[in-house]
Structure 1
Amino acid sequence: GAHGTEYASIVAVERLIGRVDASELSGTVILVPLVNRASFDQKVVHVNPVDGKSMNRFYPGRADGTQTERASYLITKEVVERCDHLIDLHGGDLDERLRAYAYWTPTGREEQDRVSRDMVLAFGLDHIIVSADRPKDPTASRYLENTATTRGKPSLTAEAGHAGTVEPEDVDALVRGCLGVMRYLKMLPGAADMVESPVWIDRVLTVTSDEAGLFYPRVKRGEYVVKDTVMGHVTDFFGRRVFEARAPAAGVVLYICSVPSMTKGGTIANVGVVRPGS
């Protein structure tokens, strides 16, 4: 709920609230279904419309800051500092046709990395981005997951859902993933189904538009492309082609813009570069 129009993740947490049986639970679960209420109510993508800031870019927040910074500070104090492990759920926003994937952040701390790696495998999404470039300073952690990670808490981020839709398979993937991690951590009875052959993604390359206009995609989410594959094109408002977007490297289309509206410098797609042999 950091982004109020990533609906699949919001619905997934709502479902989890009803699914977790306290009589079977070992430990404590903190569930936060919706943080960015203004975005949800006003259907505003990516940011909190109150202050124009993303609610996953200003951690650990400030008690005396803008609304986004104050909310981030409160979550740091009331969720991150109280938990032992953390899962941050996201999904494809209204303008993002996204395939499901997770993020794993290695730290160089052996035990923390072992647990967080097992958590992401227990979650069950088979495409996993290795986030080796996250900030290391806990006072400038920026992302929710990284706020926990820099404080020594094994964590992961998972994304499912696309273009603002709430498809059962996307919601189920997020719910099932959280329950799987809880089983791995022995919070629930049973064994987690670990991903056996994950696709590790070492880099994410963003394709942007040089021109404003109407965007027409040529590839689909989850499609594998080679370098220079035409991913789509932009026309002006009279139908004249003004820009052609090409893949900067071979990889998997993590998401492609799902709407015609395109600004100069706007994101067209993210391409994940797959680790050799993965």
Structure 2
Amino acid sequence: MNIKETINYGGLIVSAGEKKTGFAKVLDTDYNFPLTVINGSKEGKTLLITSGIHGGEYPCIEAAIELAQEIDPQKISGQIIIIHPVNISAYYARISYILPEDGKNINRLFPGNPEGTLGDKIAYVLTTEYQDKADFYLDIHGGDIHEYLPPYVYYPGIGENKDALAYAELATNFLNAKYKVKSSATTGAYNSAAIRGIPSLLIERGGRGLWSKEEVENYKNDIKNIMRFLQILPETPISILEKPTLITKAVYLDATTSGCWYPCVKLEERVKKGQKIGEIKDVFGKTLAEYYSDFDSIILFMTTSLAINKDDPIITYGI
């Protein structure tokens, strides 16, 4: 690795030992997302951090904004690229999941398409201009406006570069998470990057349209510890005394119909095989669908809104 005298991301040309902020244009569109590019004064790895692929996930967005302000390029090795947030349209519109311009969930569009709609183009730009230049990728999320979850980390289980997968899993040992989930998904920003050989993680924390200083500080501490692990920061990584619970199998339930969602369990509740975990009724109170646990499990995620649309996520449980 050599010192990168200048780097260029989103049109921001940044010399070694400097930091610049600005808005990055997406191809031939009028869409711009806020970007901070930090070029360290010493040689090192390139870390990409994306926040707010879903615009209502506030703790991760605020953590990214604060980190972008606080990091001193003179004190780091390598480069840190922070997008805060990706889905700035949804952020200002205060809507969940989707990009308002085309109604698509950006996280399901990777690796993207330069000939598609705006969401496809955003995913394509993130893939080709940001992920593919990174040595390590952190995609930070949280419960959206109508979701709630405990702190946990996803690490990828699919990808041709086994060393990259192992490296990402090793990094989870330095995150203060309650649960650690091995993902077999092939969609999503970090999964897409991992499949192409980039060590990648997804961190989750918070939800329900809220954020707190404690959540933001915990996020920042996690990210700084990954920076230590990558030797971007000079200190030794802080060991996490309370190891996360490993989730070896998870079920992600989506709504099979639109209506009113009534969970029968609480977050982190332990449930038995065959136990009813929720139901959807219509606006007249008629039951449309019921959902049961396939095995003894723990509730990891749940939608908290009464209103639900078909194919929206409603609950996640795992062993």
Q: Deviations over 1:1-42 (max 9, x none)?
A: 111111111111011112322222111100011111221122
Q: Is the 8 A contact 2:260 2:306 kept in 1?
A: yes
Tell me, in whole angstroms, the C-alpha distance in 2 between the residues paired with 1:210 and 1:70: 29
Point out which structure has higher relative CO (alpha carbons under 8 A, 6+ apart). Answer: 1
Tell me, in whole angstroms, the C-alpha distance in 1 between the residues paired with 2:54 and 2:258: 24
Structure 1 unaligned runs (5+)?
A: 136-141, 274-278
Structure 1 residue 154 displacement after superposition: 1.1
Structure 1 residue 71 displacement after superposition: 1.0
Of residues 188, 198, 201, the one that matches 1:156 is 201
Of residues 151, 164, 173, the one that matches 1:112 is 164
Tell me, in whole angstroms, the C-alpha distance in 2 between the residues paired with 1:134 and 1:267: 15
Q: Deviations over 1:55-87 (max 9, x none)?
A: 111112122221011111111222112211110
Tell me, in whole angstroms, the C-alpha distance in 2 between the residues paired with 1:15 and 1:177: 14
**2:55 alignment partner AA:** G
Structure 1 residue 239 displacement after superposition: 4.4
Three-state SS of the structure 2 residue aligned to 1:102 is: strand
Match in the other structure for 2:188: 143
List structure 1 segments (4+ residues) > 6 angstroms apart after TM superposition.
Answer: none
Structure (1 or 2) with the greater strand fraction: 2
| Percent of aligned pairs sharing the same letter | 28
Q: 1:182 to 1:212 in 2, by over 3 A?
A: same
**2:92 alignment partner AA:** D
The total of aligned residue pairs comes to 266
CA RMSD of aligned residues (A): 2.2
Q: 1:78 to 1:253 in 2, by over 3 A?
A: same
Tell me, in whole angstroms, the C-alpha distance in 2 between the residues paired with 1:90 and 1:115: 21
Q: Is the 8 A contact 2:98 2:105 kept in 1?
A: yes
Q: Deviations over 1:93-116 (max 9, x none)?
A: 112111221111134644323321
**1:101 alignment partner AA:** Y
Three-state SS of the structure 2 residue aligned to 1:206 is: strand
Tell me, in whole angstroms, the C-alpha distance in 1 between the residues paired with 2:311 and 2:200: 32
Match in the other structure for 2:270: 224
Q: Deviations over 1:183-238 (max 9, x none)?
A: 11111122223445332212221334555433333322222222233323444434
**Residue 303 of structure 2 corresponds to residue 249 of structure 1:** no
Of residues 202, 207, 210, the one that matches 1:165 is 210
TM-score (normalizing by structure 1): 0.86
Q: 1:119 to 1:49 in 2, by over 3 A?
A: same
Which stretch shows the higher mean deviation, 231-240 or 100-109? Answer: 231-240
Q: 1:81 to 1:244 in 2, by over 3 A?
A: closer
Tell me, in whole angstroms, the C-alpha distance in 1 between the residues paired with 2:254 and 2:69: 40
**2:271 alignment partner AA:** V
Matches within 5 A, 1:98-137: 98-106=149-157, 107=159, 109-131=161-183, 133-135=184-186
Match in the other structure for 1:69: 120
Matches within 5 A, 1:1-278: 1-106=52-157, 107=159, 109-131=161-183, 133-135=184-186, 142-195=187-240, 197-209=243-255, 212-239=258-285, 243-264=289-310, 266-273=312-319
